[in-house]
Homo-oligomer: A and B are copies of this chain.
Amino acid sequence: MSGCTDATAESHPMNGGDGTYSYTHNSNFQKSATNVASSMINRAVIDKLELSKLFSFTSSNNTFRIADLGCSIGPNTFIAMQNILEAVQQKYLHSQHQNSSSQMLEFQVFFNDHETNDFNTLFSSLPAKRQYFIAAVPGSFHGRLFPNSSLHFVHSSLALHWLSTIPKELLDRTSPAWNRRRIHYTSAPDEVYKAYQYQFAKDMIKFLDARARELVVGGLMVLIMPAVPNSVPLSHMPLGVVYDLLGCALMDMTREGWISEAQVDSFNLPVYVVSPKEMRELVDGNGCFSIQMMELIKPMSSVHDGQITARAITMHLRAAMEGIITKHFGGDIIDELFNRFYMKIEELSDQLQPRSKEGTQLFLVLERK
């Protein structure tokens, strides 16, 4: 059962605790994504979930098990789980099974994130009046986390774009993929992009293999992730501009002696932004899932009227990235770095407003065949 131990993936926890720069207080973008996804998840459950495939309603076992993979520390995970639960309950009550069985469904929700995630904060902020049994599962979702056929619904929002590791060639001075003076593949040579893309594919293959074993036949998996439209480079998208400006701010700091250029050369954001076409190929390659829904959605527009402030972008980027930046560069540069980033982003705020008609997040519903 070697598959039960965690993959040796790197972890990139969001800022823990309850402070100014915590993920708890700086996850509104992610929350917007949750809001927009809510109605789509409802639709997926009503249209695509066949409860009769999942349960023999004569048996005593009527537990519906949901997992949120990459849950971070709340509150978004609680909102998402409650939403799924209510959709499934609604479906159950309106289904034919209502009469054939007097048993209510029970729900068990598994909150998953890396072992280094701040689970203590997650547990201290659990909703008091929840309608489900809770469990937390620490470990990398690039490996096995659950027993065979033990889950009915898997949810993962804004987590799968984190790579399990940085491709080695990005750090190799002799490789054409050496990512000099940059911190991401945005605006980088194609070799750098290919290295990222290959790592993402390797990760996603492991992810889909593990979930194929853990989900029951007929179970659904909802994946929400940052995305680019097919054939659009990330540098043309607001997120690409953000990464480029963060890299520029770091390079500026090398010129003033805050950090060395070698430190920037050896730092790469472990994030990949996928296209719908790529995801379809990866899912088809796995073979165990059918694609039930696949759409690019625009999470922001309904909430922010399309306007995102420089301050909000800075705070959110800091909550997400402070951990890995501190690990590489030390904590002393953090305030200076994000001040510089803030000033750059304010100058270019027009470039950061959503222009494309297409969405910036992929909403994907897979059914276990």
Contact = CB atoms under 8 A, between A and B. Distances in A.
B120 A118 contact: yes
Interface residues of A, number: 39
Given A4-B106, A133-B137, 15 more contacts: A1-B104, A4-B130, A4-B132, A4-B133, A5-B128, A63-B147, A107-B147, A108-B147, A115-B124, A118-B120, A119-B120, A120-B120, A133-B145, A136-B137, A136-B138
Given A5-B130, A123-B138, A148 B115 contact: no
Interface in A112-169: 115-116, 118-120, 123-124, 126, 128-139, 144-150
A339 interface: no
A86 to B, nearest CB: 13
Given A61-B149, A147-B63, A135 B110 contact: yes
Interface in A217-274: none
Contacts of A129: 5
Contacts of A136: 119, 135-138
Main secondary structure of the interface of A (DSSP, over half): loop
A138 to B, nearest CB: 4
A63 B132 contact: no
A77 B81 CA distance: 29
B4 A149 contact: no
A156 to B, nearest CB: 17
Contact of A135 (B104, B116, B132, B137): B137
A20 to B, nearest CB: 21
B149 A138 contact: no
A102 to B, nearest CB: 13
A150 B133 CA distance: 11
A137 B134 contact: yes
Contacts of A302: none
A4 B63 CA distance: 13
B60 A131 contact: no
Contacts of A62: 148
29 contacts: A1-B104, A1-B107, A1-B131, A4-B106, A4-B133, A60-B148, A60-B149, A61-B150, A62-B148, A63-B147, A63-B148, A106-B147, A106-B148, A110-B135, A115-B123, A115-B124, A115-B126, A118-B120, A119-B119, A119-B123, A119-B136, A120-B120, A126-B138, A133-B137, A133-B144, A133-B146, A134-B137, A135-B136, A135-B137
